[in-house]
Chains A and B, each alone.
Chain A
Protein backbone atom coordinates (compact mmCIF):
# COMPACT_ATOMS: atom_id res chain seq x y z
CA UNK A 1 0.00 0.00 0.00
CA UNK A 2 2.77 2.36 1.01
CA UNK A 3 4.57 1.55 -2.24
CA UNK A 4 1.51 2.51 -4.26
CA UNK A 5 1.32 5.88 -2.56
CA UNK A 6 5.01 6.55 -3.23
CA UNK A 7 4.61 5.56 -6.87
CA UNK A 8 1.53 7.78 -7.24
CA UNK A 9 3.37 10.69 -5.66
CA UNK A 10 6.33 10.20 -7.99
CA UNK A 11 4.04 10.14 -11.04
CA UNK A 12 2.27 13.30 -9.92
CA UNK A 13 5.59 15.08 -9.44
CA UNK A 14 6.78 13.94 -12.85
CA UNK A 15 3.56 15.09 -14.50
CA UNK A 16 3.71 18.45 -12.73
CA UNK A 17 7.31 18.93 -13.91
CA UNK A 18 6.41 17.99 -17.45
CA UNK A 19 3.53 20.40 -17.38
CA UNK A 20 5.84 23.33 -16.60
CA UNK A 21 6.11 25.78 -19.46
CA UNK A 22 8.33 28.62 -20.21
CA UNK A 23 6.05 31.59 -19.66
CA UNK A 24 8.50 34.14 -20.96
CA UNK A 25 6.18 34.79 -23.85
CA UNK A 26 3.64 36.14 -21.36
CA UNK A 27 6.11 38.39 -19.54
CA UNK A 28 4.58 41.82 -19.31
CA UNK A 29 6.33 44.60 -21.10
CA UNK A 30 6.38 47.90 -19.25
CA UNK A 31 4.21 50.40 -21.03
CA UNK A 32 5.58 53.54 -22.60
CA UNK A 33 4.76 56.49 -20.35
CA UNK A 34 2.69 59.14 -22.03
CA UNK A 35 2.62 62.64 -20.59
CA UNK A 36 0.90 64.26 -23.56
CA UNK A 37 -1.68 66.80 -22.52
CA UNK A 38 -2.20 69.87 -20.39
CA UNK A 39 -1.02 69.74 -16.78
CA UNK A 40 -1.75 71.93 -13.75
CA UNK A 41 0.02 72.33 -10.40
CA UNK A 42 -1.75 70.58 -7.53
CA UNK A 43 1.07 70.94 -5.03
CA UNK A 44 4.20 73.06 -4.80
CA UNK A 45 7.01 72.97 -2.27
CA UNK A 46 10.09 75.15 -1.79
CA UNK A 47 12.93 73.47 0.04
CA UNK A 48 10.47 70.86 1.35
CA UNK A 49 8.10 73.53 2.70
CA UNK A 50 4.62 73.47 1.16
CA UNK A 51 3.79 76.77 -0.57
CA UNK A 52 0.74 75.58 -2.51
CA UNK A 53 -1.64 77.83 -0.59
CA UNK A 54 0.81 80.70 -0.23
CA UNK A 55 0.80 81.54 -3.94
CA UNK A 56 -1.78 81.27 -6.71
CA UNK A 57 -0.65 78.36 -8.87
CA UNK A 58 -4.13 77.64 -10.22
CA UNK A 59 -3.80 79.36 -13.60
CA UNK A 60 -0.45 77.90 -14.61
CA UNK A 61 -0.51 75.25 -17.33
CA UNK A 62 2.24 73.32 -19.06
CA UNK A 63 1.20 71.59 -22.27
CA UNK A 64 3.17 68.59 -23.46
CA UNK A 65 2.23 68.06 -27.07
CA UNK A 66 2.34 64.78 -28.99
CA UNK A 67 4.76 66.24 -31.52
CA UNK A 68 7.36 66.69 -28.76
CA UNK A 69 6.83 70.42 -28.28
CA UNK A 70 5.71 72.11 -25.07
CA UNK A 71 4.09 75.42 -24.23
CA UNK A 72 2.91 77.37 -21.20
CA UNK A 73 -0.15 79.28 -20.11
CA UNK A 74 0.15 81.89 -17.35
CA UNK A 75 3.83 81.13 -16.88
CA UNK A 76 5.35 80.70 -13.41
CA UNK A 77 8.92 79.81 -12.45
CA UNK A 78 9.63 76.48 -14.12
CA UNK A 79 12.52 74.41 -15.39
CA UNK A 80 12.71 76.48 -18.58
CA UNK A 81 11.34 79.88 -19.55
CA UNK A 82 10.71 79.60 -23.25
CA UNK A 83 8.73 77.13 -25.30
CA UNK A 84 10.56 74.34 -27.11
CA UNK A 85 10.74 70.57 -27.19
CA UNK A 86 10.72 67.90 -24.51
CA UNK A 87 11.66 64.24 -24.18
CA UNK A 88 11.81 61.65 -21.44
CA UNK A 89 15.16 60.02 -20.73
CA UNK A 90 13.51 56.58 -20.95
CA UNK A 91 10.01 56.17 -22.38
CA UNK A 92 9.30 53.13 -20.17
CA UNK A 93 11.14 54.01 -16.98
CA UNK A 94 11.53 57.80 -16.99
CA UNK A 95 13.55 59.43 -14.24
CA UNK A 96 14.30 62.69 -16.01
CA UNK A 97 12.58 64.98 -18.45
CA UNK A 98 14.73 66.96 -20.86
CA UNK A 99 13.77 70.33 -22.29
CA UNK A 100 15.29 72.23 -25.19
CA UNK A 101 14.24 75.88 -25.31
CA UNK A 102 13.47 77.35 -28.71
CA UNK A 103 16.04 76.23 -31.24
CA UNK A 104 18.65 75.73 -28.58
CA UNK A 105 20.21 72.27 -28.83
CA UNK A 106 21.32 72.41 -25.20
CA UNK A 107 19.05 70.36 -22.97
CA UNK A 108 17.90 71.22 -19.46
CA UNK A 109 17.00 68.20 -17.34
CA UNK A 110 14.75 67.91 -14.30
CA UNK A 111 14.16 64.97 -11.98
CA UNK A 112 10.83 63.33 -12.65
CA UNK A 113 8.66 60.73 -10.98
CA UNK A 114 5.42 59.43 -12.36
CA UNK A 115 3.20 57.97 -9.61
CA UNK A 116 -0.49 57.18 -9.59
CA UNK A 117 -2.06 58.82 -6.55
CA UNK A 118 -5.68 58.12 -5.68
CA UNK A 119 -6.24 56.77 -9.16
CA UNK A 120 -4.82 59.82 -10.92
CA UNK A 121 -1.54 59.92 -12.77
CA UNK A 122 0.80 62.62 -11.49
CA UNK A 123 4.10 64.08 -12.60
CA UNK A 124 6.45 65.22 -9.86
CA UNK A 125 9.17 67.56 -11.04
CA UNK A 126 12.11 68.80 -8.98
CA UNK A 127 14.12 71.78 -10.19
CA UNK A 128 15.75 75.13 -9.35
CA UNK A 129 14.41 78.04 -11.43
CA UNK A 130 16.27 80.70 -9.42
CA UNK A 131 19.11 80.21 -6.98
CA UNK A 132 20.55 76.71 -7.24
CA UNK A 133 20.43 76.38 -3.46
CA UNK A 134 16.62 76.38 -3.60
CA UNK A 135 14.83 73.24 -4.76
CA UNK A 136 11.21 73.30 -5.87
CA UNK A 137 8.91 70.39 -6.32
CA UNK A 138 5.78 70.75 -8.42
CA UNK A 139 3.21 67.98 -8.45
CA UNK A 140 1.22 68.15 -11.67
CA UNK A 141 -2.00 66.49 -12.68
CA UNK A 142 -3.37 66.19 -16.17
CA UNK A 143 -6.44 68.27 -16.93
CA UNK A 144 -9.57 66.37 -18.05
CA UNK A 145 -7.84 63.03 -17.68
Chain B
Protein backbone atom coordinates (compact mmCIF):
# COMPACT_ATOMS: atom_id res chain seq x y z
CA UNK B 1 0.00 0.00 0.00
CA UNK B 2 2.84 2.27 0.87
CA UNK B 3 4.49 1.31 -2.37
CA UNK B 4 1.36 2.18 -4.32
CA UNK B 5 1.11 5.53 -2.63
CA UNK B 6 4.71 6.24 -3.51
CA UNK B 7 4.07 5.13 -7.06
CA UNK B 8 1.02 7.36 -7.29
CA UNK B 9 3.06 10.26 -5.97
CA UNK B 10 5.78 9.48 -8.46
CA UNK B 11 3.22 9.29 -11.25
CA UNK B 12 1.72 12.59 -10.17
CA UNK B 13 5.10 14.25 -10.07
CA UNK B 14 6.03 12.76 -13.44
CA UNK B 15 2.68 13.78 -14.85
CA UNK B 16 3.12 17.31 -13.52
CA UNK B 17 6.64 17.46 -14.95
CA UNK B 18 5.36 16.19 -18.26
CA UNK B 19 2.56 18.75 -18.21
CA UNK B 20 4.81 21.65 -17.25
CA UNK B 21 7.43 20.51 -19.74
CA UNK B 22 4.97 20.31 -22.57
CA UNK B 23 3.31 23.59 -21.72
CA UNK B 24 6.73 25.23 -21.83
CA UNK B 25 7.45 23.59 -25.19
CA UNK B 26 4.07 24.68 -26.56
CA UNK B 27 4.49 28.25 -25.29
CA UNK B 28 8.00 28.41 -26.72
CA UNK B 29 6.62 26.98 -29.95
CA UNK B 30 4.00 29.71 -30.17
CA UNK B 31 6.57 32.42 -29.73
CA UNK B 32 9.37 30.73 -31.66
CA UNK B 33 8.35 32.20 -34.98
CA UNK B 34 9.50 34.96 -37.31
CA UNK B 35 6.59 37.34 -37.49
CA UNK B 36 6.29 39.52 -40.58
CA UNK B 37 4.47 42.85 -40.52
CA UNK B 38 3.69 45.56 -43.03
CA UNK B 39 3.73 48.61 -40.77
CA UNK B 40 3.02 51.21 -43.40
CA UNK B 41 2.54 51.71 -47.13
CA UNK B 42 2.88 55.14 -48.70
CA UNK B 43 2.06 56.25 -52.21
CA UNK B 44 0.66 59.30 -53.96
CA UNK B 45 -3.01 59.02 -54.98
CA UNK B 46 -2.23 59.36 -58.69
CA UNK B 47 0.45 59.50 -61.36
CA UNK B 48 0.49 60.70 -64.96
CA UNK B 49 0.43 58.01 -67.62
CA UNK B 50 3.89 56.82 -68.55
CA UNK B 51 5.48 58.34 -65.44
CA UNK B 52 7.10 56.58 -62.48
CA UNK B 53 4.98 55.86 -59.41
CA UNK B 54 6.68 55.04 -56.10
CA UNK B 55 5.20 52.73 -53.49
CA UNK B 56 7.06 52.64 -50.17
CA UNK B 57 6.56 49.82 -47.68
CA UNK B 58 7.85 49.62 -44.13
CA UNK B 59 8.25 45.97 -43.25
CA UNK B 60 9.05 44.75 -39.75
CA UNK B 61 10.52 41.33 -39.05
CA UNK B 62 10.27 40.10 -35.48
CA UNK B 63 12.73 37.23 -35.51
CA UNK B 64 11.99 34.69 -32.83
CA UNK B 65 13.68 31.75 -34.47
CA UNK B 66 16.94 31.77 -36.34
CA UNK B 67 16.71 31.52 -40.11
CA UNK B 68 19.54 30.75 -42.51
CA UNK B 69 19.92 31.82 -46.11
CA UNK B 70 16.48 33.41 -46.26
CA UNK B 71 15.34 36.08 -48.68
CA UNK B 72 12.61 38.62 -48.15
CA UNK B 73 9.83 38.29 -50.72
CA UNK B 74 7.65 41.22 -51.77
CA UNK B 75 4.68 40.85 -54.13
CA UNK B 76 2.94 43.73 -55.90
CA UNK B 77 -0.37 43.47 -57.75
CA UNK B 78 -0.48 45.62 -60.88
CA UNK B 79 -2.67 45.89 -63.98
CA UNK B 80 -1.45 43.41 -66.57
CA UNK B 81 -1.27 46.22 -69.12
CA UNK B 82 1.60 47.76 -67.16
CA UNK B 83 3.81 44.92 -68.36
CA UNK B 84 5.25 44.68 -64.88
CA UNK B 85 8.24 42.49 -65.66
CA UNK B 86 9.61 45.22 -67.93
CA UNK B 87 8.52 48.31 -66.04
CA UNK B 88 8.66 47.66 -62.29
CA UNK B 89 11.72 47.50 -60.04
CA UNK B 90 12.22 47.14 -56.29
CA UNK B 91 15.01 48.15 -53.91
CA UNK B 92 15.30 48.38 -50.11
CA UNK B 93 17.24 49.64 -47.17
CA UNK B 94 17.17 48.03 -43.75
CA UNK B 95 18.07 48.60 -40.15
CA UNK B 96 20.91 46.05 -40.17
CA UNK B 97 23.14 47.38 -42.95
CA UNK B 98 23.83 50.59 -44.80
CA UNK B 99 23.16 51.46 -48.40
CA UNK B 100 20.46 50.66 -50.92
CA UNK B 101 20.10 46.95 -51.62
CA UNK B 102 18.69 45.39 -54.76
CA UNK B 103 15.82 43.02 -55.40
CA UNK B 104 15.11 40.91 -58.48
CA UNK B 105 12.05 39.30 -59.96
CA UNK B 106 11.89 35.75 -58.64
CA UNK B 107 12.97 33.53 -61.52
CA UNK B 108 10.29 31.53 -63.30
CA UNK B 109 10.21 27.95 -62.11
CA UNK B 110 10.98 28.88 -58.49
CA UNK B 111 8.42 27.50 -56.05
CA UNK B 112 7.76 28.63 -52.47
CA UNK B 113 8.96 26.04 -49.96
CA UNK B 114 5.41 25.42 -48.76
CA UNK B 115 3.78 25.44 -52.19
CA UNK B 116 5.78 23.03 -54.33
CA UNK B 117 4.95 22.98 -58.01
CA UNK B 118 3.53 26.49 -58.00
CA UNK B 119 5.24 29.70 -58.99
CA UNK B 120 5.30 32.51 -56.44
CA UNK B 121 2.82 34.65 -58.43
CA UNK B 122 0.43 31.70 -58.81
CA UNK B 123 0.66 30.80 -55.13
CA UNK B 124 0.00 34.39 -54.04
CA UNK B 125 -2.85 34.70 -56.51
CA UNK B 126 -4.34 31.49 -55.12
CA UNK B 127 -4.30 32.94 -51.62
CA UNK B 128 -4.96 36.65 -52.11
CA UNK B 129 -6.60 36.74 -55.54
CA UNK B 130 -6.72 40.28 -56.91
CA UNK B 131 -7.28 41.91 -53.54
CA UNK B 132 -10.28 44.22 -53.59
CA UNK B 133 -10.07 44.95 -57.32
CA UNK B 134 -13.09 44.06 -59.42
CA UNK B 135 -11.48 43.34 -62.82
CA UNK B 136 -9.41 40.20 -63.04
CA UNK B 137 -6.86 41.55 -65.48
CA UNK B 138 -4.03 41.98 -63.04
CA UNK B 139 -0.83 40.16 -62.29
CA UNK B 140 1.33 39.59 -59.25
CA UNK B 141 4.95 40.50 -59.74
CA UNK B 142 7.20 39.01 -57.09
CA UNK B 143 10.62 40.24 -56.02
CA UNK B 144 13.11 38.77 -53.61
CA UNK B 145 16.24 40.22 -52.09
CA UNK B 146 19.33 39.50 -54.13
CA UNK B 147 21.15 38.79 -50.87
CA UNK B 148 20.29 35.92 -48.59
CA UNK B 149 20.26 36.54 -44.86
CA UNK B 150 20.89 34.50 -41.75
CA UNK B 151 19.04 36.05 -38.83
CA UNK B 152 19.18 35.31 -35.14
CA UNK B 153 16.61 34.74 -32.49
CA UNK B 154 15.57 38.06 -30.97
CA UNK B 155 16.49 40.29 -33.89
CA UNK B 156 14.07 43.08 -34.80
CA UNK B 157 14.63 44.16 -38.37
CA UNK B 158 13.05 47.03 -40.25
CA UNK B 159 13.09 46.86 -44.04
CA UNK B 160 12.11 49.86 -46.16
CA UNK B 161 11.09 48.67 -49.62
CA UNK B 162 10.62 51.02 -52.56
CA UNK B 163 8.73 49.77 -55.60
CA UNK B 164 9.10 51.95 -58.69
CA UNK B 165 6.55 51.31 -61.39
CA UNK B 166 6.27 52.96 -64.77
CA UNK B 167 2.55 53.52 -65.28
CA UNK B 168 1.02 52.29 -68.51
CA UNK B 169 -0.33 54.70 -71.13
CA UNK B 170 -4.04 54.36 -70.40
CA UNK B 171 -6.21 56.07 -67.82
CA UNK B 172 -7.18 53.66 -65.08
CA UNK B 173 -7.82 53.22 -61.39
CA UNK B 174 -6.83 50.22 -59.30
CA UNK B 175 -6.16 49.21 -55.71
CA UNK B 176 -2.46 48.41 -55.25
CA UNK B 177 -2.05 45.29 -53.14
CA UNK B 178 1.14 44.10 -51.46
CA UNK B 179 2.32 40.76 -50.11
CA UNK B 180 5.33 40.12 -47.86
CA UNK B 181 6.83 36.79 -46.90
CA UNK B 182 10.29 35.23 -46.67
CA UNK B 183 11.65 32.19 -48.41
CA UNK B 184 12.28 30.05 -45.32
CA UNK B 185 8.54 30.07 -44.63
CA UNK B 186 7.51 30.42 -48.26
CA UNK B 187 3.71 30.58 -48.51
CA UNK B 188 3.09 28.87 -45.22
CA UNK B 189 -0.56 29.16 -44.20
CA UNK B 190 0.32 30.66 -40.82
CA UNK B 191 -0.61 34.31 -41.12
CA UNK B 192 2.18 35.33 -38.74
CA UNK B 193 4.66 34.54 -41.48
CA UNK B 194 3.16 36.60 -44.26
CA UNK B 195 1.16 39.79 -44.57
CA UNK B 196 -1.13 41.33 -47.16
CA UNK B 197 -1.82 45.06 -47.51
CA UNK B 198 -4.79 46.17 -49.59
CA UNK B 199 -4.34 49.80 -50.56
CA UNK B 200 -6.76 52.56 -51.50
CA UNK B 201 -7.60 53.37 -55.07
CA UNK B 202 -4.71 54.72 -57.14
CA UNK B 203 -5.29 56.59 -60.42
CA UNK B 204 -3.37 56.95 -63.67
CA UNK B 205 -4.35 60.26 -65.25
CA UNK B 206 -3.68 62.24 -68.42
CA UNK B 207 -3.42 59.04 -70.40
CA UNK B 208 -5.32 57.56 -73.29
CA UNK B 209 -8.90 56.34 -73.45
CA UNK B 210 -11.75 56.24 -70.99
CA UNK B 211 -10.88 55.42 -67.41
CA UNK B 212 -10.69 51.69 -66.78
CA UNK B 213 -11.91 51.24 -63.26
CA UNK B 214 -10.57 48.27 -61.30
CA UNK B 215 -11.81 49.84 -58.06
CA UNK B 216 -15.57 49.75 -58.56
CA UNK B 217 -18.01 47.72 -60.61
CA UNK B 218 -19.76 49.31 -63.57
CA UNK B 219 -22.50 47.97 -65.84
CA UNK B 220 -19.89 46.84 -68.35
CA UNK B 221 -16.51 45.17 -68.17
CA UNK B 222 -14.14 43.72 -70.76
CA UNK B 223 -11.17 41.48 -70.11
CA UNK B 224 -8.35 41.45 -70.96
CA UNK B 225 -7.62 45.15 -71.34
CA UNK B 226 -4.98 44.55 -73.98
CA UNK B 227 -5.97 42.26 -76.80
CA UNK B 228 -6.03 41.66 -80.51
CA UNK B 229 -8.71 39.96 -82.59
CA UNK B 230 -6.91 36.66 -81.93
CA UNK B 231 -7.43 36.76 -78.18
CA UNK B 232 -10.48 35.55 -76.33
CA UNK B 233 -12.24 38.56 -74.84
CA UNK B 234 -14.89 38.41 -72.14
CA UNK B 235 -17.56 41.11 -72.05
CA UNK B 236 -19.60 41.36 -68.88
CA UNK B 237 -22.85 43.01 -67.84
CA UNK B 238 -23.17 43.65 -64.09
CA UNK B 239 -26.89 44.39 -63.84
CA UNK B 240 -26.91 44.81 -60.09
CA UNK B 241 -24.54 47.77 -59.99
CA UNK B 242 -27.37 50.28 -60.32
CA UNK B 243 -30.95 50.51 -61.52
CA UNK B 244 -31.33 49.82 -65.23
CA UNK B 245 -34.10 49.06 -67.71
CA UNK B 246 -33.14 45.44 -68.36
CA UNK B 247 -33.23 44.35 -64.74
CA UNK B 248 -36.25 46.47 -63.89
CA UNK B 249 -38.16 44.80 -66.74
CA UNK B 250 -37.19 41.38 -65.39
CA UNK B 251 -35.27 40.42 -68.55
CA UNK B 252 -33.40 37.14 -68.06
CA UNK B 253 -32.10 36.66 -71.62
CA UNK B 254 -29.52 39.33 -72.29
CA UNK B 255 -27.68 39.76 -75.59
CA UNK B 256 -24.50 41.50 -76.65
CA UNK B 257 -25.30 43.95 -79.43
CA UNK B 258 -22.17 45.27 -81.13
CA UNK B 259 -20.45 46.82 -84.11
CA UNK B 260 -16.80 46.13 -84.90
CA UNK B 261 -14.57 48.58 -86.77
CA UNK B 262 -11.76 47.22 -88.93
CA UNK B 263 -8.47 49.05 -88.63
CA UNK B 264 -7.41 50.96 -91.70
CA UNK B 265 -10.37 50.26 -93.96
CA UNK B 266 -12.98 51.54 -91.51
CA UNK B 267 -15.22 48.63 -92.48
CA UNK B 268 -18.03 48.20 -89.97
CA UNK B 269 -19.36 44.79 -89.01
CA UNK B 270 -22.67 44.78 -87.18
CA UNK B 271 -23.63 41.82 -85.01
CA UNK B 272 -26.92 42.98 -83.57
CA UNK B 273 -29.44 40.32 -84.56
CA UNK B 274 -29.59 38.73 -81.12
CA UNK B 275 -29.05 35.11 -82.12
CA UNK B 276 -28.05 32.40 -79.68
CA UNK B 277 -24.38 33.13 -80.42
CA UNK B 278 -24.83 36.60 -78.94
CA UNK B 279 -26.69 35.54 -75.79
CA UNK B 280 -24.74 36.17 -72.62
CA UNK B 281 -24.39 33.51 -69.93
CA UNK B 282 -25.73 34.15 -66.49
CA UNK B 283 -22.74 33.96 -64.15
CA UNK B 284 -24.44 32.97 -60.91
CA UNK B 285 -27.73 31.41 -59.91
CA UNK B 286 -28.80 34.61 -58.20
CA UNK B 287 -28.27 38.20 -59.24
CA UNK B 288 -27.98 39.77 -62.68
CA UNK B 289 -24.41 39.24 -63.76
CA UNK B 290 -23.94 38.06 -67.37
CA UNK B 291 -20.91 37.51 -69.59
CA UNK B 292 -19.96 36.31 -73.04
CA UNK B 293 -16.51 35.21 -74.20
CA UNK B 294 -15.76 35.55 -77.90
CA UNK B 295 -12.92 35.08 -80.30
CA UNK B 296 -13.35 38.36 -82.20
CA UNK B 297 -11.78 37.16 -85.46
CA UNK B 298 -14.50 34.54 -85.82
CA UNK B 299 -17.29 36.40 -84.04
CA UNK B 300 -17.04 39.24 -86.58
CA UNK B 301 -16.03 36.92 -89.41
CA UNK B 302 -12.89 38.87 -90.28
CA UNK B 303 -11.10 38.30 -93.55
CA UNK B 304 -7.51 37.07 -93.49
CA UNK B 305 -5.22 39.94 -92.48
CA UNK B 306 -7.97 42.20 -91.13
CA UNK B 307 -7.38 43.71 -87.69
CA UNK B 308 -9.92 45.23 -85.35
CA UNK B 309 -9.62 48.78 -84.10
CA UNK B 310 -12.55 48.84 -81.67
CA UNK B 311 -16.00 47.56 -80.94
CA UNK B 312 -19.00 49.55 -79.80
CA UNK B 313 -21.52 47.56 -77.81
CA UNK B 314 -24.63 47.60 -75.65
CA UNK B 315 -26.73 45.06 -73.79
CA UNK B 316 -30.26 44.30 -74.96
CA UNK B 317 -33.22 42.02 -74.50
CA UNK B 318 -34.12 39.48 -77.20
CA UNK B 319 -36.12 41.80 -79.47
CA UNK B 320 -33.81 44.74 -78.89
CA UNK B 321 -36.53 46.94 -77.44
CA UNK B 322 -34.74 47.39 -74.10
CA UNK B 323 -31.13 48.47 -74.11
CA UNK B 324 -28.45 49.47 -71.61
CA UNK B 325 -25.78 51.79 -72.99
CA UNK B 326 -23.06 53.92 -71.42
CA UNK B 327 -25.24 56.26 -69.36
CA UNK B 328 -22.44 58.80 -69.00
CA UNK B 329 -22.55 59.61 -72.73
CA UNK B 330 -25.84 58.05 -73.79
CA UNK B 331 -24.24 55.88 -76.49
CA UNK B 332 -22.66 52.44 -76.79
CA UNK B 333 -19.79 51.33 -74.61
CA UNK B 334 -16.45 51.26 -76.44
CA UNK B 335 -13.65 48.71 -76.28
CA UNK B 336 -10.43 49.58 -78.10
CA UNK B 337 -8.09 46.82 -79.26
CA UNK B 338 -4.53 47.62 -78.29
CA UNK B 339 -1.41 45.65 -77.55
CA UNK B 340 1.60 47.58 -76.29
Contact = CB atoms under 8 A, between A and B. Distances in A.
Interface of A: 46-49, 51, 54-55, 76-77, 129-134, 136
Contact of A46 (B122, B125, B232, B281): B232
Contact of A134 (B136, B226, B293): B226
Nearest to A78: B230
Nearest to B138: A47
Interface string B276-307: 00000100000000010111010000000000
Nearest to B139: A47
A53 to B, nearest CB: 8
Interface of B: 80-81, 83, 122, 125, 136-137, 139, 223-224, 226-232, 234, 281, 291, 293-295, 297, 339-340
Contacts of B125: 48
B80 A130 contact: no
A55 B230 CA distance: 14
Contacts of B232: 46, 51, 54-55, 77, 136
A55 B295 contact: yes
A134 to B, nearest CB: 5
A120 B230 CA distance: 30
9 contacts: A51-B232, A54-B293, A55-B232, A129-B230, A130-B227, A130-B231, A133-B80, A133-B81, A134-B231
A133 to B, nearest CB: 5
B291 to A, nearest CB: 7
Nearest to B230: A130
Given A130-B339, A132-B339, A133-B81, 20 more contacts: A46-B224, A46-B231, A51-B234, A54-B232, A54-B281, A54-B291, A55-B232, A129-B230, A130-B228, A130-B229, A130-B230, A131-B226, A131-B228, A133-B83, A133-B226, A133-B339, A134-B80, A134-B226, A134-B231, A136-B232
